[in-house]
């Protein structure tokens, strides 16, 4: 029944990439080779999409003036968001570096055309948002490909879609889904930033899995397997730190 | 600058998995080992999430009566959707097998709690939907892990969230994002179903990439790299078919 499992080394490659992916906010200015960027975009383009509608576009933003405009808007939104936090947390929030729009050599805007191939797309009749869901799957593929290539990606979500549309001349019918900073990095941290900083705790996987009805726990065998894994499946036999420079081939 | 690139074999593992992932609708009844399912769920749980909010839950649906109710609803939606297609395409649409809800040994409902950790989550102030975007990234991680394990996943999107909530007793504040059929399969097809059937064409990647402003083509170097890749980066040196049974380790 497992005859279609991929070879051990390939499986490990996937799991290691998933475990080592991080949301990055600090970047080196080095340019990204075109071949590397093409592999990342190709990975995104191979995501599944509702009814094979392929609703995405990829806008590579290099122009510095454009990026300055976008960064100014993000900075406004960041200050506006600060008001939502308690006074104690606000200082900590404002101390976080949340984006590298100008540091990174490129930004990438990944958009969704909900009308691609017309209104009658298989599987999109009941939930129109499935086109956006497909676009997010493409983002995740790109994020993983970037990590495998040693390229950092930071998703900047504190910006208004209509502002991005104006600055990047994106038509009204197109939804900008992800605005990403993309570049090489000094290092990939072992833990997500907000976990390492004690901002929010990691939720144990076994608490997130239900069986048959919402709220009912999984059976004991699955619970044991989830506890044994602890969200760290790839790491059990892998190197302890992110420094893989010695094993790059 | 590429010192953080993962080893060649790991990179290939990721790209091969991305290239071989398919949306499946036919399944074998064989049960999925708990350890395999745990690795898939762990992969999902390692997705990035806005402000580290980890907004997802995973509901493993095994109960056959429950699945029969869900399938009956999907069948209704499928017939309703048929009306949107021209007469010529309608017959073809109705001939597609769109789900394996009862064939697969389990179904998985992946949900999003947009209120997890309260309303003040870093990065979610401007676009509340980012929690749903994060959940889709988790879905894609699970989909890739499943493929690596030789497990097929089919995303069923022709169902109403409120119907799923009722049948699975999911609270109103929780959005069911993905309803997946999960099981071993006879084979993974070389091409996506709708591409192979001539339903919709694959869009050349170079047509989907813009530079600096919407509609402006990428520079000639990137265009060449995109054309060389043709959405098939992992396949260039890989086996021609999906039959990897001979190289499973």
Q: Is residue A249 part of a domain?
A: no
Are A142 and A216 in a shared domain? no
Are B223 and B195 in a shared domain? no
Residue A69 has pLDDT above 90, yes or no: yes
Are B35 and B121 in a shared domain? yes
The parent domain of residue A58 ranges over 21-191
Distance from CA of B128 to the nearest CA of A (A): 9
Q: Is residue B180 part of a domain?
A: yes
Mark yes or no for CB contact B63/A17 under 8 Å: no
Beta strands in A77-224 (DSSP E): 106-113, 151-156, 174-184, 209-211
Selected residues 94-123 of chain A with any CB under 8 Å from a CB in chain B:
96, 98, 117, 119-120, 122-123
Q: Are strands B106-113 and B151-156 parallel, antiparallel or unpaired?
A: unpaired
Report for A158-172, A188-202, A218-232: range of highest mean pLDDT:
A158-172
Q: 């030789």: which residue's tokens?
A: B150
**Higher-confidence position of A240 and A212:** A212
Mark yes or no for CB contact A58/B210 under 8 Å: yes
pLDDT category at A207 given cuts 50, 70, 90 is very high
> B63 and chain A: CB distance < 8 Å anywhere?
yes
Mark yes or no for CB contact B140/A6 under 8 Å: no
Are B219 and B98 in a shared domain? no
Q: Is residue B10 part of a domain?
A: no
Mark yes or no for CB contact B247/A7 under 8 Å: yes
What does the pLDDT read at residue B2? Answer: 63
Q: Chain B interface, mutation test: which of A30, A38, A237, A241, most B Cβ atoms within 10 Å?
A: A38
Helices (H), B108-247: 130-148, 161-168, 193-196, 205-208, 220-229
Report the pLDDT averaged over residues A133-158: 97
ipTM tops the 0.95 cut? no
Are A166 and A217 in a shared domain? no
Are B144 and B220 in a shared domain? no
What does the pLDDT read at residue B238? Answer: 41
Report the pLDDT averaged over residues A166-181: 98
Report the pLDDT averaged over residues A108-113: 98
What does the pLDDT read at residue A105? Answer: 98
**pLDDT tens per residue, range B40-56:** 999 999 999 999 999 99
Are B103 and B76 in a shared domain? yes
Q: 């075109």: which residue's tokens?
A: A34
Residue A99 has pLDDT above 90, yes or no: yes
Are B222 and B117 in a shared domain? no
First-last CA distance in chain B: 33
pLDDT category at A244 given cuts 50, 70, 90 is very low
> B238 and chain A: CB distance < 8 Å anywhere?
no
What does the pLDDT read at residue A171? Answer: 98
Q: Is residue B9 part of a domain?
A: no
**Residues of chain A with C-beta less than 8 angstroms from the C-beta of B159:** 126-127
Reading the block at residue B43, the tokens are 């992969």
Are B48 and B90 in a shared domain? yes
Closest CA to B240 of B190, B178, B181, B175: B190
Q: Is residue A5 part of a domain?
A: no
Least confident of A79-83, A221-225, A226-230: A226-230
Are B135 and B171 in a shared domain? yes
Report the pLDDT averaged over residues A187-212: 94
What does the pLDDT read at residue B120? Answer: 80
**Residues of chain B with C-beta less than 8 angstroms from the C-beta of A16:** 6, 10
Rounded Cα–Cα distance for residues B207 and A53 (Å): 14
CATH of the domain at B174: 3.40.109.10
Q: Is residue A42 part of a domain?
A: yes
Q: Is residue A131 part of a domain?
A: yes
Q: Is residue B11 part of a domain?
A: no
pLDDT category at A247 given cuts 50, 70, 90 is very low
Are B142 and B34 in a shared domain? yes
Q: What is the mean pLDDT of each run of 10 residues along chain B (249 residues)?
A: 88 98 97 97 96 96 98 95 89 92 98 90 88 97 98 96 98 97 97 92 96 96 86 44 36
Mark yes or no for CB contact B185/A4 under 8 Å: yes
Are B157 and B222 in a shared domain? no
What does the pLDDT read at residue B248? Answer: 30
Count of domains forming chain B: 2
What does the pLDDT read at residue A1? Answer: 54
């Amino acid at each position: 029944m497992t005859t279609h499992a991929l070879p051990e080394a390939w499986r490990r490659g996937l799991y290691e990439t998933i475990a080592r992916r991080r949301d990055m906010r600090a970047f080196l200015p080095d340019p990204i080779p075109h071949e590397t960027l093409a592999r990342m975009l190709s990975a995104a383009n191979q995501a599944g999409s509702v009814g094979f509608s392929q609703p995405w576009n990829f806008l590579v933003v290099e122009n510095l003036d454009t990026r300055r405009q976008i960064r100014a808007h993000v900075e406004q939104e960041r200050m506006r968001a600060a008001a939502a936090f308690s006074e104690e947390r606000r200082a900590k929030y404002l101390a976080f570096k949340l984006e590298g729009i100008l540091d990174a050599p490129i930004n990438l805007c990944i958009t969704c055309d909900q009308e691609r191939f017309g209104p009658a797309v298989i599987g999109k009749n009941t939930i129109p948002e499935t086109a956006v869901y497909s676009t997010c799957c493409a983002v995740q593929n790109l994020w993983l490909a970037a990590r495998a290539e040693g390229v950092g990606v930071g998703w900047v979500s504190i910006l208004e879609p209509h502002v991005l549309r104006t600055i990047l001349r994106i038509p009204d019918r197109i939804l900008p889904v992800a605005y990403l900073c993309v570049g090489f990095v000094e290092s990939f941290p072992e833990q997500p930033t907000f976990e390492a900083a004690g901002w929010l705790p990691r939720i144990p996987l076994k608490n997130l899995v239900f069986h048959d009805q919402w709220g009912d726990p999984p059976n004991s065998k699955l619970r044991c397997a989830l506890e044994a894994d602890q969200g760290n499946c790839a790491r059990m036999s892998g190197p302890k730190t992110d420094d893989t420079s010695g094993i790059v081939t």
